[in-house]
Amino acid sequence: MKATLLQCTDWRKAAYAARTCYDSHDKSAPESDLKLLQNIIKRGHDSVLEFINITWEIECSRACSHQLVRHRIASYAQQSQRYVKLNAENEQWYMMPPKIEHHPDTTIIADYAILMDDIERFYGRMVAAGIPPEDARYILPNATNTVLTVSMNLRSFRNFLSLRLERHAQWEIRGLANEMLIALYEYPEVSLLATQGVKE
């Protein structure tokens, strides 16, 4: 899985909104504004974090994207299997879970790869026979890789992190949550606010 940060709005918009609540714009300064937001998070009044919006390009399996879109306070645009044909010639088109890839019974690894090759071949055969990709896609597994553009406000992202960095979360979405957070490190104030009080 992979997460590339596309955009993050200025964290000071949230500070401005918070200062509107307290009529304290005259006290605004970068250090005090950050402390104000941290105190607001501690008190649980984090609605002003919705003024900070973050957008990533995400690559993951369809199994992972099905979990991702359960976080409904977000915006998603996902690569279409109806209009975009499976292209296995230039890329690995499916995910092999680590528990399969490193299984001591090597026949499981081989059989998984054979099954994926068979699906790829039959998909190509159907499309070549004139079956539209929107119908051929019905045989594609949850392991199929996909690309999404995802936007969340910081309040929603904090909720996402609290659920998906948790040690019982499924391995792929946990890894994706970590990658999304790492991508956000180029905005240190936002990543600090994102993780404050969030337990792994």
| Bridge pairing between strands 53-61 and 75-78 | unpaired
The answer to whether the beta carbons of residues 160 and 65 sit under 8 Å apart is no
Helix/strand/coil for 90: coil
**CB 157, CB 9: distance < 8 Å:** no
Element (H, E) at 99: helix 98-101
- Can you tell me whether residue 70 is helix, strand or coil? coil
CB 180 within 8 A of CB 58: yes
> Are the CB atoms for 8 and 52 separated by under 8 Å?
yes
User: Among the options 137, 155, 164, 174, which is catalytic?
Assistant: 164
The question of whether 164 is a catalytic residue gets the answer: yes
- What is the maximum alpha-carbon separation in the chain? 70
- Phi and psi at residue 158, to the nearest 5°: -60, -40
Q: Report whether 148 contacts 62 (CB < 8 A).
A: no
Q: Which of 90, 65, 96, 92 has the alpha carbon at shortest distance from 80?
A: 65
The set of catalytic residues is: 164
